[in-house]
Amino acid sequence: MSMLRNLATSLINARDERLVTTLPKAKELRPFVERVITLSKRAAGLEGDDAAVRGVHLRRQAATFFHAGNRQQAASTGRRNAPRAERTAGVAAVKRLFDELGERYKDRPGGYTRIIKLGRRVGDNAELAIIELVDNPREREAAAQTERRAKSKSAGKKSARASKSGEAEGGRRGGRKADKTFEKEETTKARGKGATPEAKDSDKASKGGRRAKKTEQTSAEKDTE
């Protein structure tokens, strides 16, 4: 029991909220820690006039899972202007449980810890494992980075679609045919639909002469008939 109390204290007070130990110890520690986290979660969801009283009762129940930390407080409180002794790790663990972890896991039905196997240890060949609290700061930071990347990708796709749609509106087709009045002259010439150059006067005269000759021949033929 003393070993489980020490492991639970180390896990809850750890900055990265994880602990490396052997696999059998991690399996024994998991239900031990989850029971005390459940007590802090109940305290976070209390309502009513007697919520404070019930919260104190739950805090005292959780304190039994850790080593007592008030043994040196009595010696310092009896002296005037004497510095109070520091709280032990067990008291700090209880405080963190009810101030932070209870609110974090308030809506979680269970499964507050995770065990990750690391393989065998060199020397005694013991199987090592990592036991950590879920939704720790490292996981939340990774989730925030993933969300930011997804937002940046979606924004990039939207900008690319907007640029493509703008180019299509200025080109030949943008979902519908573009207005020819706003079409560039270079684009019109490139498609071969530009205005044809006016025929020269000599060409016009030659064409007109040929037509006149044809009309004269047809009239002569009619006279002969």
* Alpha carbon distance 207, 205 (integer Å): 5
- What the block records as the tokens of 109 is 């039905």
Residue of 53, 85, 58 lying closest to 69 (CA atoms): 85
pLDDT tier, 146 (very low <50, low <70, confident <90, very high otherwise): confident
- Within 10 Å of residue 95's Cβ, how many Cβ atoms? 14
Cβ atoms of 113 and 30 within 8 Å: the answer is yes
- Residue 133 pLDDT class (50, 70, 90 cuts): very high
Output 154 or 24, whichever has higher pLDDT.
24
pTM: 0.59
Q: How confident is the model at residue 178 (pLDDT cuts 50, 70, 90)?
A: very low
Q: pLDDT, tens digit, for every residue of 147-159?
A: 888 888 887 777 7
In the chain, the largest separation of any two C-alpha atoms, in whole Å, equals: 150
Q: Averaged over 181-205, what is the pLDDT?
A: 59
Quick one: DSSP state of residue 198?
P
**Rg of the Cα atoms in the chain:** 43
Per residue in 194-212, pLDDT (tens digit) is: 455 555 555 544 555 555 5
The whole-number pLDDT of residue 175 equals 47
Question: Shortest CA distance to 131 belongs to which of 19, 24, 23?
Answer: 19
